Structure 1
Amino acid sequence: MDIAQLANVASLIAGLASAGFWVIAAVVKAPVPPEFKGMPDGDYWKCAVIHGGELFGTLRSQSKWNSRAAFAAAATVLLQIAVSMLSS
């Protein structure tokens, strides 16, 4: 296996990781504090409950996973550039 093939495989792995990270970001929810379990969606004094998750914690989690996905996508592009340069 030459270096171009190795870079191509690494690009595939980084692309799959990026897709996985974005799927996680789309579905992640932060748990609500125990005293708000079972409460309907709403903006309460101590937290905001949206779709069964705590809003600000969910946004932090989504940001973390979106950042990982963006870095993996950038690695995919850079590896593909390397593959095209090494193949020619």
Structure 2
Amino acid sequence: MKKTDENAKAYWRENVKYLVILLSIWFLVSYGAGILFKDALNEIRLGGFRLGFWFAQQGAIYTFVILIFVYVRLMNKLDKKYGYDE
């Protein structure tokens, strides 16, 4: 196995780790806050709306957009770390 093969495997291992973490956050926000923990979150109000409702309608979308920017930043750092940046 060449050094570049080891480099590529380490790159993908770290990439998959980031994906698992970010997708877990995505799942917790969309399914957890919007469905599972809705009743508990509805006890809290945000801007006049119940927090469970807010997460189901808008909070999840905001979180998804933020996760996209976080993923882009993480991947740019990862590309530079392993020499795949252009």
TM-score after normalising by structure 1: 0.43
Higher helix proportion, which one?
2
Q: Which has the higher contact order (CA 8 A, sep 6+)?
A: 1
TM-score after normalising by structure 2: 0.43
